[in-house]
Amino acid sequence: MSPRLRRLLVPALSTAVMLAILLGLGVWQVHRLAWKRGILAAIAAAEAAPPVPLPATGTPPDFTKVAASGVLRPDLAVSFGAAVHDLRGVPMLGADLVVPLIRPGAPPLLVDLGWVPQPAPAPLTLPGGVVSVAGFVHPPVKPGLFSASDDPAGRRYYTLDPAKIGRQIGLGRVAPFTLIAMGDTPALGYPRPADHLPRPPNNHLQYAATWFGLAGALAVIFAAYARKVLTA
């Protein structure tokens, strides 16, 4: 082997290993892209379908679109989170209104009716008697290291944990999930329910392009280096 080829041996092997890794990561992201598109298509189909009746027992799969009937208990309502929304063109700080739904023969269900400004510019009156609420099933959330502290005395929560909230408002055992209401915003402008199911981000195409681009750049750099060595 000539001295020039010997100089290229280690760089060529290193480049080959790095190219294999980068191309493998790019191909993996392409597979992830197809997988994520399947999930998003399933979410879109579920969003377009009518809600299914919520069974009295058992826990439906997360983010299932369901409908539940019962009596709302606004006297036990709590606020959840904090967000700014435009209310008739005016930015206002508010939180989601979470109200227990008392169901016959089933545990009480916490229902997130949507965003409400705080303080509300006009009194909010919720329907009495038996009502039906459509939305999606949200799994319980546990507080993280940087989660804001809940204020049980003020009925203000920053972590959507139905077991904890139900216990602290005196309901005891409640359904182990929250129903996030979906629908149109009322004429009053609030509570503002969710208008779509949550969707995971889909950045796999950009990731694949990044890995393939790095592989291409590495190949160009090695080619330029090899040409310099061989023509020196």
Residues 162-219 pLDDT 10s: 999 999 999 989 999 999 999 888 888 899 999 888 888 999 999 999 999 999 999 9
Q: What is the pLDDT of residues 16-62, one digit of tens each?
A: 999 999 999 999 999 999 999 998 988 888 888 899 999 888 888 88
Q: Which residue has the tokens 């016959």?
A: 104
Q: Which of 81, 79, 128, 125 is nearest to 101 (CA)?
A: 128
Asked whether the predicted pLDDT for residue 6 surpasses 80, the reply is no
Write down the domain spans for the chain.
Answer: 3-44+202-231, 64-181
C-alpha torsion angle, residues 50, 97, 54, 162 (rounded to 10): 140
Q: How many helices and strands, by DSSP H and E, does the chain display?
A: 3, 8
Q: What is the pLDDT of residues 119-154, one digit of tens each?
A: 888 788 888 899 999 999 999 988 877 888 999 999
- How far apart CA 54 and CA 61 sit, in angstroms, is 11
- Amino acid occupying residue 14: S
Mean pLDDT, residues 88-115: 93
170 contact partners, CB below 8 Å, separation of at least 6: 76
Q: What is the pLDDT of residue 187?
A: 82
**CA dist list (Å): 172 to 51, 100, 164, 206:** 28, 12, 9, 47
* pLDDT band at 1; cut points 50, 70, 90: low
Please list, residue by residue across 174-183, b when 16 or more beta carbons sit within 10 angstroms of its beta carbon and e when fewer do. Answer: bbbbbbbbbe
87 vs 170, more confident:
170
What does pTM read for this prediction? Answer: 0.79
